[in-house]
Amino acid sequence: MRELKEEMSTPRIDKPIVVSDRNFDQTTKSYPLLVVDCWAAWCAPCRAIAPIVDELAKEYSGKVVFGKLNVDENPETTQRFGVMAIPTLLVMKDGQEVDRVVGVIPKNRIEAKVNAYA
């Protein structure tokens, strides 16, 4: 039982990791709680929320892993999850989507979503 618990613990990752069509399923299964920022380089609101995601990745290191999925480069995952507007934050718990945030919202509202599942 101890080995399983250690295996499912959250590593101390203090910056968003790159998530792609190729690694999405494995990544979501590797971390008990993962927040995926769906974004694009041309998207001004995505650039506005990026520093908040970076801050949260530092502050929640060891509890929650944050990732970034470029929607232009990863159309399969974008379509699979019905991402119609960006930025969209997908809250993934144990490999399943449990919540999402669409648009730019204040840091404290994102934290409230994350804390509901942490």
Which residues carry out catalysis? Answer: 43, 46
Contact 37, 50 (CB under 8 A): yes
Bridge-based pairing of strands 96-102 and 88-93 is antiparallel
Report which residue type is found at 14: D
Q: Note if the bond before 87 is cis, omega within 30 degrees.
A: yes
